[in-house]
Amino acid sequence: MLPSVKNAIAVGSLSVVAYLSGCAGDNGSSSSSQNVAEDFDFTAMFANYADNIIIPNYESLKSAADNLADEQGPLGQYCAGIGSANEASLFTSAELAWHEVQSSIQHSESHVLGPVADNGAALRARLSAYHVGELSACGIDQGVVLNAQSSNFDVTTRTVTQRGIGAVEYLLFNTDLTHNCPSQIAETADWDQRSTTERQTLRCDYALTLAKDIAVAADEIVTAWSMDGGNYRSEFINPLNDAENLTALSDAMFFMEIDVKDAKLGIPTGINDACSEIACPDQVESPYSQSSLANIADNLSAFQTMMTGADGLGFDDIISQAGVAPLNQQFADNIQAALASIQTQPASLYSQAAGLVTEDDETDCTNSYTNPTTTTLVPACSLFGLVKLITDDLKVGFIAAVDVDLPDRSQSDND
């Protein structure tokens, strides 16, 4: 796709700029925002986020992960029942358990800060490594065999692109049981000669091993926030850390731009320069379960919760106190428009991206994302445009009203 086409959308949010232009100071921040810093109860806001959003999200994730990792749970029962008359119904239960974990992870992506962001976001990558890089299918295939060969197999020695919820998805939902390794890889040399039932069972057993690793990671995160563990909550609500924590919380909101708009939508549809072809369908987040759009819906819902602080103090209250309350409604309207678009998508994100093969398809995609409220020639591309309306407000109105800087990882994004 030509660079001139990829950069066709100018930075929006002109109405928000108008709201703010009357009170902007010399440094680009508004005087109203500076008054917020003096009068706003940030400690109560951080306590609300910790107690009513972040910690409950991680507790829900831990519960879902424990269920998936339980050898007597839905996944364990499916593994034991492969080849039986109940295999299909057992798989349905395991599938639902996997989706519950995936959904919880998608909600947690809205607050990547503190313990989950430490050490290069190591705990985040153990949950899902989509943001790290492409899934290592061969590495996972090797892990299946190694896990079956030794009771001392240590899953923590495998790289993160061979673990997490994406690797479990590959093992459960990929109906092609042939391995993805070069012929010289010893572990998989005789894999394709094994029976279908054996290969399904060994893959499922390894999925259970990986699920246990996810459950351990989720438990570590909950413990890190707990008063009886690392007690990061105390640090997060400490008034001495207000400035640092406001930056961390606001930076986390930009997952909507970097991870959702650019990676989950922009790359598969070919809008983002990271895709050098007309489209890159193989880069969707959940290709085997075909749940990429559901992931984005969860991301949008979580973003809305983080914006409003649920039923307590949140960014919307800062924005209102800064004198730009219409921005809150603009966020709400654009989020709902994006969610409505997902509900009416005619096909999976992978299928739509795979259908973008000609220059005419590329033009249809461009028309869709540059005019997302009126043009749906390629619904997935229109969704990109709708999400961009949200992130434009995030980069302009939100930054000015909350009086914070753009995070470093967002500085170079000019689309």
Is pLDDT larger for residue 265 or for residue 411?
A: 265
Reading the block at residue 280, the tokens are: 């890159």
Q: Nearest 5°: phi and psi at 399?
A: -60, -45
Q: Is residue 147 part of a domain?
A: yes
Q: Tens digit of pLDDT for each residue in 139-178?
A: 999 999 999 999 899 999 999 999 999 999 999 999 999 9
pLDDT tier at 11 (50, 70, 90 boundaries)? very low
Residue 38 backbone phi and psi in degrees, to 5: -80, -35
User: Do 32 and 73 belong to one domain?
Assistant: no
- Is pLDDT above 50 for 329? yes
- Does residue 271 lie within any of the structural domains? yes
Q: Is the pLDDT confidence value at 4 over 50?
A: no
Q: Is residue 239 part of a domain?
A: no
As for how many domains the chain has, the answer is 2
- Is 119 a domain residue? yes
Q: How far is CA 273 from CA 56, 98, 106, 262, 372, in A?
A: 37, 32, 24, 9, 20
Residue 99: pLDDT band by 50, 70, 90 thresholds?
Answer: very high
Q: pTM here?
A: 0.91
Residues 187 and 314 reside in one and the same domain? no
Same domain, 217 and 74: yes
Percent of the chain with pLDDT over 90: 88
Do 300 and 197 lie in one domain? The reply is no
**pLDDT for 10:** 37
The tokens for 363 are 């033009």
| C-alpha dist (Å) from residue 192 to 180, 207, 300 | 10, 19, 41
Whether the pLDDT of residue 102 is over 80: the answer is yes
Report the C-alpha gap between 281 and 270 in whole angstroms: 9
What pLDDT is stored for residue 410 in this prediction? 66
Q: What is the pLDDT of residues 37-48, one digit of tens each?
A: 568 999 999 999
Look at residue 313 in the predicted model and tell me its pLDDT: 97
Whether residue 298 is contained in a domain is answered as yes
Residue 230 forms part of a structural domain: no
Whether the per-residue pLDDT at 9 is higher than 60: the answer is no
- 326-343 vs 14-21: helix axis angle to the nearest 10? 170
Lowest mean pLDDT among 21-30, 245-254, 334-343: 21-30
Q: What is the pLDDT of residue 182?
A: 97
Locate 251 and state its tokens.
């930076």
pLDDT of residue 5 exceeding 50, the answer is no
Q: Do 185 and 296 share a domain, yes or no?
A: no
pLDDT digits (tens, 9 = 90+) for 52-78: 999 999 999 999 999 999 999 999 999
The answer to whether 379 and 352 have CB atoms below 8 angstroms apart is yes
Q: Does residue 232 lie in a domain region?
A: no
Amino acid making up residue 40? F
301-304 LR contacts (CB < 8 Å, sep 24+): 301/107, 301/339, 302/57, 302/106, 302/107, 302/108, 302/109, 302/110, 303/110, 303/253, 303/255, 303/256, 303/335, 303/390, 304/331, 304/332, 304/335
- With respect to residue 234, please indicate whether it lies within any of the assigned structural domains: no
Considering the domain architecture, whether residues 80 and 221 belong to the same structural domain is answered as: yes
Q: Is pLDDT above 90 for 20?
A: no
Give the pLDDT band of residue 379 (cuts 50, 70, 90).
Answer: very high
Looking at the structure, do residues 147 and 184 belong to the same domain, yes or no?
A: yes
Q: Nearest 5°: CA angle at 337, between 269 and 335?
A: 90
Q: Do residues 313 and 195 both lie within one domain?
A: no
Which of 186, 206, 225 is at the close of a domain?
Answer: 225
State which of 225, 245, 273 marks the end of a domain: 225
Q: Specify whether 203 is located in the same domain as 267.
A: no
d(CA 168, CA 209): 9
Question: Which residues form the domain of 17?
Answer: 3-39+253-410
Residue 47: per-residue pLDDT:
98
Shared-domain flag, residues 265 and 212: no
> pLDDT digit string (tens) for 208-261?
999 999 999 999 999 999 999 999 999 999 999 999 999 999 999 999 999 999
What letter does residue 348 receive in the DSSP assignment?
Answer: -
> CA-to-CA distance for 215 and 164, rounded, in angstroms?
10
Q: Do 34 and 44 touch, CB atoms closer than 8 A? A: no
205 with 86, same domain? yes
Assess whether 389 and 319 both reside in one domain: yes
Mean pLDDT of the chain: 91
How far apart are the C-alpha atoms of 379 and 357, rounded to whole Å?
A: 15
